[in-house]
Amino acid sequence: MSKTVHISSAAQFDSLIHSSTIVVTDYWCGPCKQIAPVYEQLSARLSRPKKITFAKVDVDRQQEVAQKYGITAMPTFMIFKNAQIVSTIRGADPRKLSEAVQKLAAEAESNGSATSGGFGDASGNGSNLWLGASLPKGYGDVTDEVDVRGLDLLNSDSEFGDARILFNSSKPSGRASVDDDKGKGKADDGESKPDWVESDTDEQLMLYVPFQSKLKVHTLHLTSLPPKPSEDREEEIPMRPKTIQVYSNRAHVLGFEEAEDIPATQRVTLSARDWDEKTGTAKIELRFVKFQNVTSLVVFVVDGDGDGEKVRVDRLRLIGEKGEKRDLGKLEKIGDEQGE
């Protein structure tokens, strides 16, 4: 007998992801048949009451659920952990699906790690996603909706990384500065460009972030990992950001003088206690009502926490909810066979 739960309403699905630690979900349509036996085999072998649950959502009948989670192609598989999306697999790829599911199933079976809700290592939307802070209940990482082709960053030092590096999903090399007194990262190896951003002529940075779809942005995770002071270090140690102004739905990046004349959607002042000692990440909680249906953000680092002239930013992640990329009537079927 199949152990897979067939979703009949949005309320049922919401209840399920909050009652089972891990929920593997197959968003499917009639023609999506090739991978169905593989999914049922995984369900039969790995399902555990209240711990690991497999579900199927017929997008033709449950459009509300498909809309909520931004489903634009079938089949799409989403894995939820503690009601948060931690992995998304698009297309009929049995190997990827099996690897992702079995990895989390192994965690669920070993010393309760599936319920720990930890962060600072690989977690989030895919096995290589690094998160510097915990996710608020009911929201997920939506950084993959950033349109990296449209990013713009003003007053950044060209010897360091560009705007794209801020949205890299890997663990920042600057994490070494938390554990290593010398704080060596990629900047010190002489072989590659650093995987962080530093300001150039002064402490200010202006970042324009467009999105591929409308988002509801709940929180920003800002990571800054300046190295520890050292007697043999001659160059100036950059500061962490202190004052940040966020603007929503701008058509382009703002000039520094222009930003002074435009009221920010939200202004935030960070202090030393806001930064996580282990990950170097500050959680900036936004006034959620002001960040609905957001198509872009401008993040203005006004000053740094100190008397220096440089500011450093290693990562920026966006937490919230995804909107629709296109009408449900334009949902696409991805070929059942790999490579289609």
Three-point CA angle 219, 67, 340, nearest 5°:
105
Q: What are the distances in angstroms from CA 215 to CA 187, 288, 293, 298, 301? A: 34, 11, 5, 14, 22
Instruction: Let me know: does 125 contact 140? Beta carbons within 8 Å.
Output: yes
Q: At what angle do helices 94-109 and 36-46 cross, to 10 degrees?
A: 10
For residue 16, give the H/E element and its range: helix 10-19
| DSSP letters for 149-206 | GG-EEESB-TTS--GGGGG--SPPGGGHHHH-TT---GGGSSSS--SSEEBSSSS-EE
- Please check whether residue 64 is in contact with residue 92, taking contact to mean a CB–CB distance below 8 angstroms: no
**29, 122, 264, 328: which one is catalytic?**
29
- Under a CB-based contact definition with an 8 Å cutoff, are residues 227 and 312 in contact? no
In contact, 238 and 304? CB cutoff 8 Å:
yes
Q: CA torsion sign, 25 to 29 to 32 to 38?
A: positive
Known catalytic residue: 29? yes
Among the listed residues 24, 32, 85, 222, the single catalytic one is 32
- Catalytic machinery residues: 29, 32
